[in-house]
Structure 1
Amino acid sequence: MGVSAEESTDGRAARSGAAGGGRGAGEPAAAGIAHRVPDLGALELLLAVARLGSLGRAARELGITQPAASSRIRSMERQLGVALVDRSPRGSRLTDAGALVTDWARRVVEAAEAFDAGAQALRDRRDSRLRVAASMTIAEYLLPGWLIALRGQRPDTAVSLLAGNSTAVAERLLTGEADLGFVEGLSVPAGLDSAVIAHDRLIVVTAPGHPWARRRAPLEGPELAATPLILREEGSGTRQVLDAALGGLARPLIELSSTTAVKAAAVSGAGPAVLSELALGEELSTHRLVSVPLSGVELRRALRAVWPTGHRPTGPARDLLSLTRGV
């Protein structure tokens, strides 16, 4: 015997309703468990009532008012659909259903306490160390002061510092070898978020005996670009800024991997160099190096804190980041 389209549809609807526990048409699917189970605060209150035999004493122990405790119990009873507590002038007594729910509540609360203890252990492990990666100028001239201040706030946190150029800092963050980084380049490396913490200026310097130390007219960009310089290695923020500002550089006179080494070479008279103003205070004040005026070229740069995209610093890394804002 044939079946009409209308009959077929009705049959499927009936079978679907049976499979879904008789849910009527248009009724929403069952809510998640969080909507069907009382929250931990309510379960703790029920356990306190069972232990103390009084809703008032339970409320005082948990630091809430008795009306608030009564309201919470009534709300839990409506949520579960059963009476949990019999109230009388002599106190509060659990119903049979309340005693059973209390046993379940005890297991849930104990599991939550274990969860909380485990989470705290993870936080303690995170807070016990901080791995910082920083480009050379920041590592040598800014980070020591920040780390001393951080130690005052977190004396139990062990801090390790990995110094390198801006490219190396980005690599260490992206591979999980560092928790927070600091770079000096023109832009934020791919895969990292950042915050500008300070600005810095690059200065052309020479030893006092170099011809540039006695020149009266400012140095022009093309002459600087055409002159072999004592430079940091490729990948350093200082070199990136200088190369971009001049539109290219001559072949390096010497290529070195640290600001301290570049300064030492310049002091020895090996040739001119371009270095961070932060690194030159002592050498300029003692006249071991001379600042050469530069015209028509902007050598200002941003100093940035960086971290993997979407992972805002937490714990000691967050505290260190907050300390840098005073720069």
Structure 2
Amino acid sequence: MTKFPSLEVLELLVAIAEHGSVGAGARAVGMAEPNASRAVRRFEREVRVVLFRRTPRGSEPTEVGQAVVAWARPLLQQAEGLALALRSLESAGLGQLDVAASMTIAEHLFPRWLAELRRHHPDDRVRLRVENSAEVSRLVLEGAVELGFVEDPSPVSGLGHRVVTRDRLVLVVAPGHPWARCPAVEPEELAATPLVAREVGSGTRSVLEHALGRLPLAPAAAVLNSNAGVRASIQAGVAPGVLSDLVVADLVRSGDLVVVPIAGLDLVRPLLAVWRTGQPPRGIAAQLVAVAEHSQELTT
């Protein structure tokens, strides 16, 4: 083996482990499947270990393969951070960026990011569109905006992504609701209860549905396309609801809403920057992603 392993091969190994097959992993990193298969076999010969076990369902990492993937992840994260930092140095004169962000991010995180960006780059111009996560992804895919920020942990095909921070979804009720005095609500009871919910396509709804797995959500008591509308309806006693802790923190502190634990579920979700595959953020866009990541470091 050469002095250092190839970052491209390590990225491929991680993608295969995450997606469950050589073909899916190859597509995730933009590589042809035959080339990916050869790259894996060549790397296995170099390190003299078998990293993946071929099964009827695809490819799963061996015990050694799991270790290699675990070692590779932080290295790739650092390499990507270095590449992002280098791209942020690129200058194209007066910076202008069209960006879209999901509602939670736009309302509670983006203003701080923008203020920090402008502190260092006061001449840059940023235009923001506020949509749900599905619409943000569509806008980025179609090239209507250069950069997006979404709450959905599973970005759509055709988008590159990077985790910039995390938040947590919480189940909240009005103080008079019976659940306000419960130590915890079981997932089955939550799924069977009509909630005040965000619309289909929102990251909040997608994360909750994914966390509940095979438990289908009951028809909603109300469906609203804004966080403000959902939290006001919950506060008014319409029904319980699930929102980001960023959205309800003030009402929880004042006692106007009560957080109810969900047994066995901790709804922490990554918040992602997304861009079109093959078009990583540069210049002002890379600077904004770096600012968002740095904000996470300051608050953890």
Matched, 1:123 2:123: no
1:173 corresponds to 2:173: no
Mapped to 2, the partners of 1:186 and 1:123 lie a distance apart of 32
Residue 39 of structure 2 is matched in structure 1 by none
Q: 1:186 and 1:310 mapped to 2: Cα distance? A: 20
- Structure 2: segments with no counterpart, 5+ residues: 1-90
Alignment of 1:179-190 (within 5 A): 179-190=146-157
- Cα deviation code 1:190-247 (max 9, x no counterpart): 11000111122110001111111122x3100000000000001001111011111113
> Hey, what does 1:253 align to over in structure 2?
221
| Residues in 2 aligned to 1:298 and 1:237: alpha-carbon distance in whole angstroms | 16
In structure 2, the partner of 1:78 is none
Other-structure match for 1:145? 112
Q: Distance in 1 between matches of 2:285 and 2:236?
A: 39
CA distance in 2, matches of 1:258, 1:301: 19
CA-to-aligned-CA distance 1:121-169 (integer Å, 9 cap, x gap): x923xx4321111111111110000001111122122211111111101
CA deviation profile, 1:261-315 (whole Å, cap 9, x unmatched): 1111111111101011121210110011000121022312111111110111111
Structure with more relative contact order (C-alpha pairs < 8 Å, separation 6 or more):
2
Partner residue in 1 for 2:187: 221
CA distance in 1, matches of 2:126, 2:153: 27
Distance of 1:186 and 1:320 partners within structure 2: 20
* Alignment partner of 1:291 is 2:259: yes
Kindly report structure 1 stretches of 4+ aligned residues shifted beyond 2 Å.
Answer: none
Larger radius of gyration: 1
Deviates more, 1:293-302 or 1:309-318: 293-302
Q: 2:200 maps to which residue?
A: 234
Task: Report matched runs for 1:275-290 at 5 Å.
Answer: 275-290=243-258
Tell me how large the CA RMSD over aligned residues is.
1.3
Q: Which amino acid aligns with 2:120?
A: Q
Partner AA of 1:219 in structure 2 = V
Query: Paired residue for 1:119?
Result: none
Q: Which residue of 2 aligns with 1:267?
A: 235
Say which SS state the counterpart of residue 304 (structure 1) adopts: strand
1:160 correspondence with 2:127: yes
Matches of 1:315 and 1:244, distance apart in 2: 35
In 1, are the aligned partners of 2:174 and 2:235 still within 8 Å (CA)? yes
Match of 2:168 in 1: 201
- Structure 2 residue 269 is matched with structure 1 residue 306: no
Aligned to 1:50: none
Q: Which position in structure 2 is the counterpart of 1:321?
A: 289
Alignment of 1:12-161 (within 5 A): 123-124=92-93, 127-161=94-128
* TM-score, length of structure 2 as denominator length: 0.65
SS at match of 2:279: coil
Question: How many angstroms apart in 1 are the aligned matches of 2:98 and 2:252?
Answer: 33
- Aligned to 1:187, the other structure's residue is in SS state coil
Match of 1:211 among 161, 175, 178: 178
